[in-house]
Amino acid sequence: MNDQPIYWQENQVGRQQREALHHHQGAVLWFTGLSGAGKSTLANAVEIQLHKMGVNTFILDGDNIRHGLCSDLDFSDQGRGENIRRIGEVSKLFVDAGTVVLTAFISPFREDRKTVRSLLGAGDFIEVYCDCSINVCEERDVKGLYKRARAGEISDFTGIDSPYEAPLNPELHVDTGTVELALCVDRVIAKLQTSGVIPASSHTIL
> What residues are annotated to the active site?
107
Lateral strand order in the sheet of 27-32 = 57-61, 100-104, 27-32, 125-131, 172-175
Angle between helices 15-22 and 77-96 (to 10 degrees): 70
Angle between helices 77-96 and 110-119 (to 10 degrees): 20
Euclidean distance between CA atoms 189 and 191, whole angstroms = 5
Asked if residue 136 lies in contact with residue 146, where contact means CB atoms within 8 angstroms, the answer is no
Q: Locate the DSSP E strands across 77-147.
A: 100-104, 125-131
Nearest CA to 27 out of 104, 94, 124 is that of 124
Euclidean distance between CA atoms 186 and 24, whole angstroms = 18
